[in-house]
Amino acid sequence: MLLKTFGWSFGVTIAGLLFALYFWGWEGFAVVAILSVLEISLSFDNAVVNAGVLKRMNAFWQKIFLTIGILIAVFGMRLVFPVVIVAVTAGVGPIEAVELALDDPDRYSEMVTDAHPAIAAFGGMFLLMIFLDFIFEERDIVWLKWLERPLAKLGRIDAFSVGVALVALLLTATTVAHQAYQHGGLHVDKTETVLLAGLAGLLTYLVVGGLSGYFENRLEEDEERAAEAEEEAQAEAKRTGKEQTVVGLAGRAAFFLFLYLEVLDASFSFDGVIGAFAITNHIFWMALGLGIGAMYVRSLTIYLVRQGTLDDYRYLEHGAHYAIGALAVMLLISIRWHLPEVVTGLVGVGLIAAAFWSSVRANRLDASSGGSDGSGNGSSQKPVSSGV
């Protein structure tokens, strides 16, 4: 099971490190290895949340997530995205941006740093909406009762999470963005940029999440009529000699969930891409290191789904969403103040570790008490899955 799930990740790791060693020596080997660890540590919470969404897909779409999805994640976010940032902010073409990255890496790094306020605002708002929609939703299993139950009551108000997010964006734009950090320790007014980028992140979440939720609801309605549809499909198949299935709606639902996962991965990738510039300006080292890390995030997501880890450890998903909320806040704060990458990584891992330990303790209580789930509910109740 382990080799089957992580086989591609192991293979890409070996190939990537050997490639770096052959072309750039031990220095390239070490930097690529460090970047791989950085990406995994910063994106572990991403894997947990991804698993909550991915477990609703069938095996076909899970394979799509690991094939086409990884191409988007590696080449789109870890290689193309930094180039696009420079091309847009510097007003040059993509080819010129690549040449700039190769010929003048210091200038390339400066341009990406200057673009950070817009990146942080977009990613911060998208991740904040994920956290708010989770924390304001009533669910059977709660982790921090004193916090989650009162907030769930507030969530009964229509569009409450959107209102909170807009307030957070306005506060960020009028305070933090007024003196946004730029290369060389300078601070400039990025209020308008942060407002527009933040609204774009919020709108992206609402559109993609709304579409995935719509088709998921449609799929659930059709599943209620699955028995009748199956009988009719089998009869038609015998008559015509062709298989009749209801894959169409499942495909549409899975497609928008897949789209949601890709946007989610992109938002999580922002801090990893920016953080990589603190280690190296070499564009190919960055692509290799972050790409290897992205492979492990994908494999870890599949592992969590197939092993049923989220169901076995009931609070793990809660911890991941708290880590998302913390990352969103840190992204918004980083518009003005630089935060060490080790801080963002340790906060997320720490929250997930706390949730994992709480789950282990609850499972032990279940075993000793004969069925209580540790949160005042029966153990037969399943956690509410994450997503939109």
Query: Which phi and psi (to 5°) does residue 372 adopt?
Result: -70, 140
Q: Please, what is the average pLDDT of the chain? A: 76
Sign for the CA dihedral angle at 195, 204, 329, 384 comes to positive
Output the six-digit token pair for 246. 């209801």
The pLDDT, as a whole number, for residue 251 is: 61
Domain count, the chain: 1
3-state secondary structure of 372: strand
Q: What is the pLDDT of residues 303-335, one digit of tens each?
A: 777 776 666 778 887 887 888 888 888 888 888
The pLDDT, as a whole number, for residue 64 is: 82
pLDDT-based confidence at 14, cuts 50/70/90? very high
In a domain, 232, yes or no: yes
In a domain, 377, yes or no: no
Q: What is the pLDDT of residues 240-263, one digit of tens each?
A: 665 544 444 356 667 777 877 777
3-state secondary structure of 181: strand
Between 381 and 47, the more confident residue is 47
The pLDDT, as a whole number, for residue 247 is: 43
* pTM of the model as a whole: 0.69
Number of other residues whose CB lies within 10 A of the CB of residue 207: 12
Which of 42-46, 57-61, 138-142, 197-201 reaches the highest mean pLDDT?
A: 197-201
Between 147 and 316, the more confident residue is 147
Averaged over 201-229, what is the pLDDT? Answer: 70
Distance, in Å, from the CA atom of 111 to the CA atom of 274, rounded to the nearest integer, reads 11
The pLDDT, as a whole number, for residue 216 is: 62
pLDDT-based confidence at 385, cuts 50/70/90? very low
Distance, in Å, from the CA atom of 60 to the CA atom of 247, rounded to the nearest integer, reads 11
Number of other residues whose CB lies within 10 A of the CB of residue 262: 18
pLDDT-based confidence at 343, cuts 50/70/90? confident
- 113 has pLDDT over 80: no
In a domain, 385, yes or no: no
pLDDT-based confidence at 195, cuts 50/70/90? very high
- 360 has pLDDT over 80: yes
The pLDDT, as a whole number, for residue 377 is: 45
The pLDDT, as a whole number, for residue 72 is: 77
- Please name the residues in contact with 60: beta carbons below 8 A apart, sequence gap of 6 or more: 254
The pLDDT, as a whole number, for residue 220 is: 63
Please choose, from the candidates 273, 289, 266, 39, the residue with its C-alpha nearest in 3D space to the C-alpha of residue 130. 266
DSSP string, 69-80: HHHIIIIIIIII
The pLDDT, as a whole number, for residue 199 is: 93
3-state secondary structure of 187: strand
The pLDDT, as a whole number, for residue 163 is: 92
Sign for the CA dihedral angle at 320, 321, 326, 328 comes to positive
- 227 has pLDDT over 50: yes
Distance, in Å, from the CA atom of 353 to the CA atom of 81, rounded to the nearest integer, reads 31
Percent of the chain with pLDDT over 70: 75
DSSP string, 230-272: HHHHHHHHHHHSS----HHHHHHHHHHHHHHHHHHHHHHHHHH
Which amino acid is it at 71? L
In a domain, 328, yes or no: yes
Distance, in Å, from the CA atom of 319 to the CA atom of 56, rounded to the nearest integer, reads 20
In a domain, 217, yes or no: yes
Percent of the chain with pLDDT over 90: 7
Distance, in Å, from the CA atom of 352 to the CA atom of 354, rounded to the nearest integer, reads 5
The pLDDT, as a whole number, for residue 246 is: 43
Distances (CA, A) of 25 to 30, 286, 317: 9, 15, 41
- 37 has pLDDT over 90: no
The pLDDT, as a whole number, for residue 54 is: 75
Averaged over 169-197, what is the pLDDT? Answer: 83
The pLDDT, as a whole number, for residue 347 is: 80
Averaged over 40-69, what is the pLDDT? Answer: 73
- Alpha helices, H only, the chain: 2-54, 59-66, 68-71, 81-90, 94-103, 105-114, 116-135, 145-154, 160-174, 191-224, 226-240, 247-276, 283-307, 309-312, 316-333, 341-369
The pLDDT, as a whole number, for residue 140 is: 83
3-state secondary structure of 308: coil
Q: How many CA atoms lie within 13 A of 44 on its CB side?
A: 21
Burial 210-237 (b: 16+ CB within 10 A, else e): ebbbebbeebeeeeeeeeeeeeeeeeee
Distance, in Å, from the CA atom of 20 to the CA atom of 31, rounded to the nearest integer, reads 9
Classify residue 378 by its DSSP letter: B
In a domain, 273, yes or no: yes
Q: What is the pLDDT of residues 253-295, one digit of tens each?
A: 677 778 777 776 776 666 667 666 656 767 788 888 888 888 8
The pLDDT, as a whole number, for residue 260 is: 74
Q: How many CA atoms lie within 13 A of 202 on its CB side?
A: 20
Cβ neighbourhood burial of 130 (10 Å; 0-12, 13-18, 19+): buried
The pLDDT, as a whole number, for residue 379 is: 40
In a domain, 386, yes or no: no
Between 92 and 351, the more confident residue is 351
In a domain, 376, yes or no: no
- For residue 187, give its domain range: 2-369
